[in-house]
Chain A
Amino acid sequence: MKKQDKYLVTYCEILLTSTITTILVVAFLIVEKEMLLGAIIGLGILGFFIAKGRGIPHKIDQVYREHPCVFYLTIVSPVIIAIVFCRHEHFALFMIASVAIYATACLGLTLQLGYTGLTNFAGAAFLGVGGYTVAVLTNQSIPNVLVILLGGLMAAIIGSLLILPVLRTRGHYAALVTIAFALLFKTFLEINDTLGGPQGLKIASFKFFGLDFNEPLLGSSFYLSYVIAALLLMLVVFIITRLIEKSWLGLHLDAVRLDETVASCFGINIAAWKILAFTLGNFFIGLAGGLYAQMLGHIAPTNFTFADSLILISIVILGGIGNPLGVIPASFLIIVLPEKLQFIQEYRFLLFSILVILVLVYRPEGLLKRGLRSFYRTWGRERKLEN
């Protein structure tokens, strides 16, 4: 086969994969009958194995590296089409926004756990810090966008209170610090009356330059504005995470994670890099928490339990530890699946904990393994061209 023909076939395959995935995802979001949902899941799994058999994930990876326009065509445009298609479906839009928000938080965790190797088992607590900051500040006369930024900032600041023990401990001991913080945070919320106690707080609607997010946007569901805001937030955080990974910064973070002794023998200031990753990660998680609180309109301590922190960690593991792109399908799986299949909703923590144990035992790098670092698009290609 000629080289051009081969490319054409690859493009067709990618386009087909993208179309089928979009249709399945949209159908999954809209359909309510459990029989049908089961059929969609079955089709999805079948499609995944067929695609894997034909080596499509690998091809997609290659083509995306060479031609980012294909990336926009096959990922960004289906998302827009899906949103337009679902514009009247409150629940579907709510799900999309939730996935984007959880993915944003998990990008923060990727920075901490995936790149730097810092265990943070208080993800939901930092989500809560962002959420409660927003809840307390929205009713003041501060612009809403600024309030969400303050939520992120607050998470970073509260996180810096933990910096000293996090820096001084490793492994199990470091885990203990963040677990203790997660439990502390929830217990504190439950008994603190000014923060609403177990009942939580109500939050006024999000306003952006006179645009009220709780009013229907352009005759669609009012969740549409939140979906757009959440996707934009996710995109910005994703791009920043990616840029960090593909630069000297990411290399330093990896060096700190992989071998602290070697890193210090080559002049790397371990504490400084850990502080950067921990603080920036918490900032991202706080931003996500702020927007999440805005969207929910009401938050309570039960939104931010230790089990939720473990769910965030599960997303990072399933997506492939340190693989920012993997976080998005993993969030979809973990957030949407139990919401749609009501009979597993109650059992979700149990099911996901078992799933994560199985993944860790049989596929320790996660479902979508993180690839080698490339610093820019044509990375690793120059040499092959010369030959």
Chain B
Amino acid sequence: MDFSLLDQHIINGLVLGVIYAMVAVGFTLFFGVLNVIKFSHGDVLMAGSFAALIASLFLSQLGEFPTWLNLCISLLFAISIMATLGTLIAQHLVLPLRGAPPLNTLLITLMLGLAIREAVRLFYPNGSNPKPFPRLLPENSWIIGTMEIRQDTAIIIVGGLLAILILNLAIRKTRLGLSIRAVAQDPETARLMGINFKRIVLGTFALGSGLAALAGVANGLYYHEIIFDRGLFLGVIGFSAAVVGGLGSLLGAIIGGFLFAFLQTIGAIWFSVPAYKDVFAFVVIIMIMAWRPTGLLSEINSDRV
């Protein structure tokens, strides 16, 4: 076994883990406050990366900006657009259908995902093909012992972890976070305590979708290219990660994300055909669902009689 290759696998696994965790956190947040799974989440992520791409290209048209400024503006643009989109989805499609059968919500969010995917494919110039994503991060490498790590990779890992950490703190310490936890615990009581249920739900969707946009940008920065149907893959994997960690648990989602990346990396090493990496990931999802239908860290799902 080539050890430098092993290093690369570990670093690659870490990046994937951070991205998956960011997606999984979104799923877990939505499930916590509303008991819904928003299957279009992955496509919001993809749309976020395209929004960042547009902003970045627009800025480079305007003139010479330092890359860090370009990155910050694009990132902010993507996050704010996706947070708005997430809020709109929650307000017009998810909240009004709270009383509908769960199957309908499921179908609607799946169809919405398809609509977002297709809109990007059709309305972005030549959208069916992969688009190069600008390299906005420094590409020098650091050598630590025998290990070589590129700066962009390190920034993605650290930035992603930081974002998750800040979100975690926000949920634990701020008033908004407190309200979100209250709604997740018991929507009725929370409402009686004077918490504006609707606002909390919208806030949660904005938060989760913003994080998805960040994950989308991280994905673009890492692979240097984005494509319209990548969001579907990331969404399914992120959902699986959230399920594995136990839906509704923030920490579980993060653990699930890294666990999933770990399994996928093992798969990549095992098969040595990188193309089978995704096939392997999906086989793992199906096997986990067969083995532990509601996740490894278990979620109570009792039917009240």
A residues whose Cβ falls under 8 Å from a Cβ of B: 117, 119, 121, 162, 164-165, 168-169, 171-173, 175-177, 179-181, 183-184, 187-188, 191, 260-261, 306-307, 310, 313-314, 317, 346-347, 349-350, 353-354, 356-357, 360-361, 364
Distance between B107 CB and nearest chain A CB, rounded to angstroms: 6
Q: B290 near A357 (CB under 8 angstroms)?
A: no
B289 contacts the other chain (Cβ, under 8 Å)?
yes
What's the dominant secondary structure at chain A's contact region? helix
Decide yes or no: A357 and B111 within 8 Å by CB, A349-B118, A364-B104 being known contacts. yes
Decide yes or no: A175 and B39 within 8 Å by CB, A184-B282, A347-B122, A353-B115 being known contacts. yes
Q: B243 near A356 (CB under 8 angstroms)?
A: no
Q: Which of B97, B108, B273, B286 contacts A180 (CB 8 A)?
A: B286
**Cα A112 to Cα B303 with chains together (Å):** 23
Q: Which residues in window 25-68 of B have CB below 8 A to A?
A: 37, 39
Q: B290 near A188 (CB under 8 angstroms)?
A: no
Q: A179 near B305 (CB under 8 angstroms)?
A: no
B143 contacts the other chain (Cβ, under 8 Å)?
no
**Cα A360 to Cα B93 with chains together (Å):** 10
Q: A188 near B104 (CB under 8 angstroms)?
A: no
Q: A183 near B233 (CB under 8 angstroms)?
A: yes
Q: Which of B119, B122, B236 contacts A183 (CB 8 A)?
A: B236
Decide yes or no: A121 and B233 within 8 Å by CB, A176-B243, A184-B279, A346-B122 being known contacts. no
**Cα A298 to Cα B136 with chains together (Å):** 44
Distance between A29 CB and nearest chain B CB, rounded to angstroms: 26
List A contacts of B107 (CB < 8 A). 313, 317, 356, 360
Decide yes or no: A177 and B114 within 8 Å by CB, A183-B282, A347-B122, A364-B100 being known contacts. no
List B contacts of A187 (CB < 8 A). 278-279, 282
B239 contacts the other chain (Cβ, under 8 Å)?
yes
Mask for B86-102, Cβ within 8 A of A = 1, else 0?
00000001001100111
List B contacts of A306 (CB < 8 A). 232
B285 contacts the other chain (Cβ, under 8 Å)?
yes
Which residue, of A119, A162, A360, has the highest number of chain B Cβ atoms within 10 A? A360
B residues whose Cβ falls under 8 Å from a Cβ of A: 37, 39, 93, 96-97, 100-104, 106-108, 110-112, 114-115, 117-119, 122, 232-233, 236, 239-240, 243, 273, 275-276, 278-279, 282-283, 285-287, 289-290, 293-294, 303, 305
Could you list 23 examples of A-B contacts with CB < 8 Å?
Answer: A165-B289, A168-B290, A172-B37, A172-B106, A175-B106, A175-B110, A179-B39, A179-B236, A180-B282, A180-B285, A181-B282, A183-B236, A187-B279, A191-B275, A307-B118, A310-B114, A313-B107, A313-B110, A353-B115, A356-B107, A360-B104, A361-B93, A364-B104
| Closest chain A residue to B305, Cβ basis | A261
Further 11 A-B residue pairs, CB within 8 A, beyond A175-B110, A176-B240, A364-B100? A117-B103, A169-B293, A171-B103, A176-B236, A177-B286, A180-B285, A180-B289, A347-B118, A353-B115, A361-B93, A364-B104
Q: A119 near B289 (CB under 8 angstroms)?
A: no
Q: A360 near B108 (CB under 8 angstroms)?
A: yes
Q: A173 near B294 (CB under 8 angstroms)?
A: yes
Q: A171 near B285 (CB under 8 angstroms)?
A: no
Q: A183 near B106 (CB under 8 angstroms)?
A: no
List B contacts of A364 (CB < 8 A). 100-101, 104
| Closest chain A residue to B107, Cβ basis | A360
List B contacts of A179 (CB < 8 A). 39, 236
**Cα A354 to Cα B116 with chains together (Å):** 10
Q: Which of B108, B111, B232, B289 contacts A177 (CB 8 A)?
A: B289
List B contacts of A350 (CB < 8 A). 114-115, 118-119, 122
**Cα A354 to Cα B303 with chains together (Å):** 33
Q: A173 near B289 (CB under 8 angstroms)?
A: yes
Which residue, of B107, B118, B122, B239, has the highest number of chain A Cβ atoms within 10 A? B107
**Cα A23 to Cα B279 with chains together (Å):** 48
List B contacts of A307 (CB < 8 A). 114, 117-118
**Cα A177 to Cα B233 with chains together (Å):** 13
Distance between B239 CB and nearest chain A CB, rounded to angstroms: 6
| Closest chain A residue to B273, Cβ basis | A191
**Cα A169 to Cα B294 with chains together (Å):** 8
Distance between B117 CB and nearest chain A CB, rounded to angstroms: 8
Which residue, of A162, A169, A176, has the highest number of chain B Cβ atoms within 10 A? A176
Q: B290 near A119 (CB under 8 angstroms)?
A: no
Decide yes or no: A121 and B110 within 8 Å by CB, A180-B282, A191-B275 being known contacts. yes
**Cα A128 to Cα B107 with chains together (Å):** 22
**Cα A353 to Cα B110 with chains together (Å):** 9
**Cα A47 to Cα B97 with chains together (Å):** 32
Q: A353 near B112 (CB under 8 angstroms)?
A: yes
Q: A353 near B282 (CB under 8 angstroms)?
A: no
List A contacts of B294 (CB < 8 A). 169, 173
Q: A165 near B286 (CB under 8 angstroms)?
A: yes
List A contacts of B276 (CB < 8 A). 191
Distance between A310 CB and nearest chain B CB, rounded to angstroms: 5
| Closest chain A residue to B37, Cβ basis | A172
List B contacts of A172 (CB < 8 A). 37, 102, 106, 239
Distance between B281 CB and nearest chain A CB, rounded to angstroms: 8
